[in-house]
């Protein structure tokens, strides 16, 4: 059996990092871990190939090679997924689909042969048995969410590593909180399940053996969802990093209450966590209450600063469009982002995702307008907002233009570096040749061609004086700022 694993294309959004990746000579931020895991659940004797459309094109020869096609998708990838299914069906292939889009959509599914709803650790082996008996079903859904002990070591070797700027591993699934807009708790549950320490170390070993150096994204919904287990894992990760000379710079996602736990913060710092993505959402207490985000209590600016003081750059998600948003929400978001020194602030418009508590409430209130695009940075709403939608969109664009104007952005980047004193030099995947190439690309594009070159040189000079050991990090931040500015400009013009 020959299986072609396909990851459809992402649209050009803030999250695609598309304008930042070329500086590093990369095509995509992260490999599709879902498909790499699915591959490891298939029989060893089957042949497999991965085609990530964010890295290269899908050719007819690829499709013709395969007996069966396995594709994944998030909501934002649905147009590309439909195209993939159409092409593969036209060549007479058996098509199998899974992942968050098919699991949560309310629309008609693409015309595939088999659909996997939810996690596949128990259902895929069942499918393989059914297939051998000629009795494979159209749809598979696990009765219970599987323990992560059942998750095999992902087939990292299928990914063309040199095309990605980071590698992904997963420690836990699910989150104990109950934010109204969140679909994580509907898809992956409210009882966080974790892998064992041995499983995690085996994944680190595998990435190291494949030659990976640099950023590793622990893609958990909330890394500290199961604090008891995380506390046991972190010292082992720290020990592993030390034994191997700190080859990985870790990034993860966490709830804001991480700031309340200094021993956990110290353990994360020692294990090599350099960036953490927080769901801050809004500085407005009434909107946080509406979103049932009780864990974001207290002084959020202080919480951010506490985390930064442990050497971790804070990235964060922000949302506008809550019913309780006051008219000055836009200025308040800008002010918060400015004071918090969060360079990469992912601001989005509230979207109601299928099956969430928010979706159900809006349905009851007769305010739903249809399925969301899944991209919360395009200026559309899938529900009737309390504030005039035109005002919301205008205000949203003002936030993006302001926070990603070069002067504002570089100030935050410098303030963030100042607040995140480092114990070790950050590992990167650069060698002398690609390091020099990346540096040249940044200097030419941002320091010569770009109309905002004066701001770049101001930023770079300050970095040279104040953060000389962190040049690579400052160039990464500059490239990311450029990406966000490019997209803000494009969205404002459209
Ligand atoms: C890493 C990640 C990313 C990475 C991308 C990584 C990549 N290349 O795939 C980045 C940061 C780029 C990203 C971006 C976005 N993401 Co994202 N992301 C994640 C995250 C945290 C982990 C994904 C992962 O690797 N999981 C680990 C694997 C093992 O799990 P899995 O993919 O679910 O796979 C399992 C099953 O689903 C199943 N399966 C999956 N595929 C297939 C295929 C077949 C054939 C079969 C049989 C089974 C199967 O088997 C696997 C094993 O059980 C998830 C949350 C999560 N818990 O998964 C969100 C998540 C997938 N992202 C989400 C969203 C909304 C986004 C954004 C739109 C964010 C935004 N608001 O703008 C953007 C879109 C990208 C873009 N460019 O526009 C949503 C998707 C919701 C939906 N219904 O579609 C999720 C669920 C999180 C959330 N609720 O917000 N994301
Ligand atoms: S903390 Fe994050 S993952 Fe957990 S429920 Fe809230 S939004 Fe979802």
Across the chain, mean pLDDT equals 94
pLDDT for the residue 373: 78
pLDDT per residue as tens digits for the range 106-126 = 788 878 999 999 999 999 999
Measured CA to CA in angstroms, residue 171 lies from 210, 217, 238, 293, 319 at distances of 20, 10, 15, 23, 26
pLDDT per residue as tens digits for the range 278-298 = 999 999 999 999 999 999 989
Distance in Å, CA 101 to ligand 1 centroid: 9
pLDDT for the residue 122: 97
Instruction: Report yes or no on whether pTM surpasses 0.85.
Output: yes
Binning pLDDT at 50, 70 and 90, where does residue 493 land?
low
pLDDT per residue as tens digits for the range 196-240 = 999 999 999 999 999 999 999 999 999 999 999 999 999 999 999
The overall longest dimension of the chain from CA atoms, in Å, is 69
Q: Return the ligand number nearest the Cα of 220.
A: 1
pLDDT for the residue 72: 98
Give, using CA atoms, the residue closest to atom 56 of ligand 1. 221
pLDDT for the residue 490: 78
Binning pLDDT at 50, 70 and 90, where does residue 455 land?
very high
pLDDT for the residue 424: 66
pLDDT for the residue 35: 98
With beta carbons less than 8 A apart as the criterion, state whether 71 and 81 touch: yes
pLDDT per residue as tens digits for the range 11-30 = 988 788 999 999 989 999 99
H-helix or E-strand containing 185? helix 184-187
Ligand 2 near 222 CB (within 6 A):
yes
Ligand 2 near 372 CB (within 6 A):
no
Binning pLDDT at 50, 70 and 90, where does residue 425 land?
low
Ligand 1 near 88 CB (within 6 A):
no
* Cα-to-chain-centroid distance, residue 127: 29
Q: What percent of the chain has pLDDT over 90?
A: 86
Quick check: 434 pLDDT over 80?
Answer: no
With beta carbons less than 8 A apart as the criterion, state whether 70 and 36 touch: no
Ligand 1 near 32 CB (within 6 A):
yes
pLDDT per residue as tens digits for the range 73-92 = 999 999 999 999 999 999 99
Pocket test for ligand 1, best of 12, 78, 79, 100 (most atoms within 8 A of CB): 100
Binning pLDDT at 50, 70 and 90, where does residue 246 land?
very high
Which two structure tokens, joined as six digits, stand for 251? Answer: 């990034």
pLDDT per residue as tens digits for the range 172-204 = 999 999 999 999 999 999 999 999 999 999 999
- Checking DSSP bridges between strand 193-194 and strand 172-173, what pairing results, if any? antiparallel
pLDDT for the residue 380: 84
Quick check: 5 pLDDT over 70?
Answer: yes
Quick check: 427 pLDDT over 90?
Answer: no
**Mean pLDDT value of segment 451-477:** 93
Quick check: 272 pLDDT over 70?
Answer: yes
Ligand 2 near 224 CB (within 6 A):
no
Q: Which atom of ligand 1 is nearest to the CA of 41?
A: 52
pLDDT for the residue 310: 97
Pocket test for ligand 1, best of 15, 97, 358 (most atoms within 8 A of CB): 15
Cα(124)–Cα(464) distance, integer angstroms: 53
Cα(108)–Cα(111) distance, integer angstroms: 9
Binning pLDDT at 50, 70 and 90, where does residue 494 land?
low
Which two structure tokens, joined as six digits, stand for 112? Answer: 């595939």
Cα atoms in the 13 Å half-sphere on the side-chain side of 12: 11
Ligand 1 near 70 CB (within 6 A):
yes
Distance in Å, CA 34 to ligand 1 centroid: 8
Cα(326)–Cα(75) distance, integer angstroms: 30
pLDDT per residue as tens digits for the range 364-380 = 999 999 888 777 667 88
Residues, the chain: 494
With beta carbons less than 8 A apart as the criterion, state whether 167 and 216 touch: yes
Distance in Å, CA 16 to ligand 1 centroid: 13
């Amino acid at each position: 059996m020959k299986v072609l694993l396909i990851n459809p294309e992402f649209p050009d959004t803030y999250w695609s990092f598309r304008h930042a990746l070329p500086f590093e000579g990369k095509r995509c931020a992260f490999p599709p871990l879902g498909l790499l895991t699915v591959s490891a659940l298939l029989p060893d004797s089957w042949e497999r190939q991965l085609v990530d459309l964010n890295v290269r094109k899908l050719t007819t020869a690829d499709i013709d090679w395969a007996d069966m096609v396995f594709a994944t998708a998030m909501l934002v990838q649905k147009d590309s997924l439909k195209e993939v299914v159409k092409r593969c069906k036209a060549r007479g292939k058996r098509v199998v689909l899974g992942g968050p889009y098919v699991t949560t959509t309310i629309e008609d599914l693409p015309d595939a042969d088999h659909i996997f709803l939810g996690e596949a650790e128990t259902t895929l082996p069942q499918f393989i048995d059914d297939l051998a008996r000629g009795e494979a079903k159209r749809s598979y859904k696990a009765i219970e969410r599987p323990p992560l002990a059942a998750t095999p070591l992902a087939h990292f070797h299928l990914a063309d590593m040199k095309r990605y700027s980071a590698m992904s591993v997963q420690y836990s699934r699910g989150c104990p909180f109950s934010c109204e807009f969140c679909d994580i708790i509907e898809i992956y549950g409210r009882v966080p399940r974790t892998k064992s320490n041995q499983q995690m170390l085996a994944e680190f070993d595998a990435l190291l053996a494949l030659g990976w150096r640099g950023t590793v994204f622990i893609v958990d919904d909330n890394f500290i969802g199961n604090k008891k287990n995380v506390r046991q894992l972190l010292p082992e990760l720290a020990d592993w990093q030390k034994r191997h000379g700190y080859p990985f710079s870790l990034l993860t996602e966490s709830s804001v209450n991480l700031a309340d736990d200094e021993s956990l913060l110290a353990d994360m710092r020692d294990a090599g966590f350099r960036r953490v993505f927080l769901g801050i959402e809004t500085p407005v207490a009434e909107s946080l209450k509406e979103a049932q985000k009780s864990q974001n209590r207290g002084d959020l600016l202080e919480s951010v600063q506490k985390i930064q003081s442990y050497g971790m750059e804070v990235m964060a998600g922000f949302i506008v469009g809550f019913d309780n948003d006051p008219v000055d929400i836009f200025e308040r978001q800008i002010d918060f982002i400015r004071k918090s020194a969060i360079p990469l602030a992912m601001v989005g418009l509230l979207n109601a995702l299928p099956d969430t508590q928010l979706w159900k409430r809006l349905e009851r209130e007769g305010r739903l307008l249809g399925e969301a695009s899944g991209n919360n940075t395009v200026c559309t709403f899938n529900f009737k907002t309390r504030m005039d939608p035109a005002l919301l969109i205008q205000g949203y664009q003002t936030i993006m233009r302001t926070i990603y104007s070069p002067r504002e952005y570089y100030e935050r980047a410098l303030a963030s570096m100042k607040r995140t004193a480092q114990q070790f030099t950050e590992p990167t995947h650069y060698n002398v040749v690609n390091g020099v190439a990346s540096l040249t690309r940044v200097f030419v594009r941002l320091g010569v061609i770009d109309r905002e070159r004066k701001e770049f040189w101001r930023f770079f000079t300050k970095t040279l004086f104040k953060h000389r050991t962190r040049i690579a990090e400052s160039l990464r931040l500059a490239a990311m700022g450029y990406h966000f500015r490019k997209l803000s400009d494009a969205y404002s013009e459209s």
